[in-house]
Amino acid sequence: MPEEVKQFTDGSRLEFDWGSFDPWCVYMVSQPGKRRALRHADLFADASYLAGKYGLGLFYEQHFVYLYDQTTKDWSIPAAKRLLDDITNFAVHYGPADCMRADKTLTGLYATMVAEESKENTSSASASSASACTKSYTRESRHRRLLASSEE
Protein backbone atom coordinates (compact mmCIF):
# COMPACT_ATOMS: atom_id res chain seq x y z
CA MET A 1 0.00 0.00 0.00
CA PRO A 2 1.42 3.43 -0.93
CA GLU A 3 2.78 5.60 1.86
CA GLU A 4 2.62 9.35 1.27
CA VAL A 5 5.85 11.28 1.65
CA LYS A 6 4.56 14.75 0.84
CA GLN A 7 1.56 16.50 -0.68
CA PHE A 8 2.46 19.52 -2.83
CA THR A 9 0.42 22.69 -3.20
CA ASP A 10 -0.31 21.90 -6.87
CA GLY A 11 -2.19 18.74 -5.80
CA SER A 12 0.54 16.26 -6.74
CA ARG A 13 2.21 14.07 -4.16
CA LEU A 14 5.28 11.92 -3.60
CA GLU A 15 4.89 8.44 -2.18
CA PHE A 16 6.77 5.25 -1.39
CA ASP A 17 5.36 2.00 -2.72
CA TRP A 18 6.48 -1.37 -3.97
CA GLY A 19 8.65 -1.32 -7.04
CA SER A 20 9.99 -4.37 -8.80
CA PHE A 21 11.85 -5.71 -5.74
CA ASP A 22 11.16 -3.69 -2.58
CA PRO A 23 8.71 -1.22 -1.00
CA TRP A 24 11.07 1.74 -1.43
CA CYS A 25 10.24 2.89 -4.93
CA VAL A 26 9.54 6.65 -5.01
CA TYR A 27 6.57 7.70 -7.14
CA MET A 28 5.22 11.08 -8.21
CA VAL A 29 1.43 11.05 -8.38
CA SER A 30 0.18 13.91 -10.55
CA GLN A 31 -3.50 12.98 -10.41
CA PRO A 32 -5.50 10.05 -9.06
CA GLY A 33 -4.48 6.87 -10.83
CA LYS A 34 -1.58 8.53 -12.69
CA ARG A 35 1.85 8.03 -11.20
CA ARG A 36 5.39 7.47 -12.37
CA ALA A 37 8.53 6.29 -10.64
CA LEU A 38 11.08 9.04 -10.13
CA ARG A 39 14.20 8.63 -12.23
CA HIS A 40 17.58 9.72 -10.91
CA ALA A 41 18.43 11.26 -14.28
CA ASP A 42 15.38 13.54 -14.09
CA LEU A 43 16.09 14.55 -10.50
CA PHE A 44 19.70 15.41 -11.28
CA ALA A 45 18.73 17.29 -14.44
CA ASP A 46 16.45 19.46 -12.29
CA ALA A 47 19.18 19.76 -9.65
CA SER A 48 21.65 20.89 -12.31
CA TYR A 49 19.15 23.46 -13.63
CA LEU A 50 18.51 24.89 -10.16
CA ALA A 51 22.21 24.94 -9.24
CA GLY A 52 23.05 26.61 -12.54
CA LYS A 53 20.39 29.28 -12.20
CA TYR A 54 20.61 29.99 -8.46
CA GLY A 55 24.16 28.96 -7.69
CA LEU A 56 25.87 25.80 -6.55
CA GLY A 57 26.34 27.34 -3.11
CA LEU A 58 22.60 27.67 -2.53
CA PHE A 59 21.41 24.43 -4.06
CA TYR A 60 24.25 22.08 -3.26
CA GLU A 61 26.06 23.49 -0.24
CA GLN A 62 23.13 24.95 1.68
CA HIS A 63 20.25 22.69 0.74
CA PHE A 64 21.37 19.33 -0.69
CA VAL A 65 24.26 18.73 1.72
CA TYR A 66 22.01 19.69 4.65
CA LEU A 67 19.47 17.05 3.57
CA TYR A 68 22.18 14.49 2.92
CA ASP A 69 23.64 15.00 6.39
CA GLN A 70 20.23 14.61 8.03
CA THR A 71 19.02 11.58 6.06
CA THR A 72 18.43 8.30 7.88
CA LYS A 73 16.34 5.27 7.06
CA ASP A 74 13.89 6.31 9.79
CA TRP A 75 12.03 8.83 7.67
CA SER A 76 8.83 8.78 9.71
CA ILE A 77 10.40 10.15 12.88
CA PRO A 78 9.59 13.78 13.78
CA ALA A 79 13.04 14.99 12.70
CA ALA A 80 12.53 13.53 9.23
CA LYS A 81 9.08 15.11 8.95
CA ARG A 82 10.70 18.42 9.96
CA LEU A 83 13.06 18.02 7.01
CA LEU A 84 10.07 17.97 4.66
CA ASP A 85 9.01 21.32 6.13
CA ASP A 86 12.58 22.59 5.77
CA ILE A 87 12.50 21.65 2.09
CA THR A 88 9.32 23.68 1.58
CA ASN A 89 11.04 26.62 3.26
CA PHE A 90 14.17 26.15 1.12
CA ALA A 91 12.06 26.21 -2.04
CA VAL A 92 11.09 29.84 -1.42
CA HIS A 93 14.72 30.81 -2.16
CA TYR A 94 14.19 29.78 -5.80
CA GLY A 95 11.58 32.43 -6.53
CA PRO A 96 8.00 32.05 -7.68
CA ALA A 97 8.94 30.63 -11.08
CA ASP A 98 10.97 27.73 -9.66
CA CYS A 99 9.60 27.30 -6.13
CA MET A 100 7.52 24.22 -6.96
CA ARG A 101 10.31 22.72 -9.06
CA ALA A 102 12.76 23.18 -6.17
CA ASP A 103 10.30 21.71 -3.65
CA LYS A 104 9.69 18.63 -5.81
CA THR A 105 13.36 18.19 -6.71
CA LEU A 106 14.68 18.49 -3.15
CA THR A 107 11.85 16.34 -1.78
CA GLY A 108 12.49 13.75 -4.49
CA LEU A 109 16.21 13.69 -3.73
CA TYR A 110 15.52 13.36 -0.01
CA ALA A 111 13.00 10.54 -0.57
CA THR A 112 15.41 8.64 -2.81
CA MET A 113 18.16 8.99 -0.20
CA VAL A 114 15.79 7.61 2.45
CA ALA A 115 14.89 4.77 0.08
CA GLU A 116 18.55 3.93 -0.51
CA GLU A 117 19.23 3.93 3.24
CA SER A 118 16.20 1.69 3.80
CA LYS A 119 16.91 -0.92 1.16
CA GLU A 120 18.28 -4.17 2.44
CA ASN A 121 22.09 -4.29 2.52
CA THR A 122 22.53 -0.57 1.86
CA SER A 123 22.04 0.99 5.27
CA SER A 124 24.95 2.81 6.85
CA ALA A 125 24.86 0.26 9.67
CA SER A 126 25.45 -2.68 7.35
CA ALA A 127 28.82 -3.97 6.33
CA SER A 128 27.75 -4.49 2.75
CA SER A 129 30.06 -3.89 -0.17
CA ALA A 130 27.83 -1.02 -1.31
CA SER A 131 28.35 0.65 2.04
CA ALA A 132 32.10 0.08 1.92
CA CYS A 133 32.26 1.46 -1.61
CA THR A 134 30.28 4.54 -0.60
CA LYS A 135 32.66 5.23 2.26
CA SER A 136 35.63 5.24 -0.10
CA TYR A 137 34.53 8.57 -1.59
CA THR A 138 34.12 11.88 0.15
CA ARG A 139 30.60 13.24 0.39
CA GLU A 140 31.42 16.37 -1.56
CA SER A 141 33.22 14.72 -4.47
CA ARG A 142 30.38 12.19 -4.89
CA HIS A 143 27.72 14.87 -5.09
CA ARG A 144 29.72 17.16 -7.37
CA ARG A 145 30.23 14.23 -9.77
CA LEU A 146 26.51 13.45 -9.69
CA LEU A 147 25.59 17.06 -10.45
CA ALA A 148 28.20 17.24 -13.22
CA SER A 149 27.04 13.96 -14.79
CA SER A 150 23.48 15.23 -15.02
CA GLU A 151 24.70 18.05 -17.27
CA GLU A 152 26.09 15.58 -19.84
20/123: higher pLDDT: 20
pLDDT band, very low/low/confident/very high, at 138 (cuts 50, 70, 90)? very low
Residue of 119, 88, 100 lying closest to 24 (CA atoms): 119
pLDDT per residue as tens digits for the range 60-105: 999 999 999 998 888 778 888 899 999 999 999 999 999 999 999 9
- Strand ranges for the chain from DSSP E: 3-7, 13-17, 25-31, 34-37
pLDDT per residue as tens digits for the range 39-63: 999 999 999 999 999 999 999 999 9
Report whether 64 contacts 47 (CB < 8 A).
yes
Q: What is the CA radius of gyration of the chain?
A: 15
Report whether 108 contacts 12 (CB < 8 A).
no
Q: 1-5 contacts: CB < 8 A, separation 24 or more? A: 2/27, 2/29, 5/75, 5/84, 5/107, 5/111
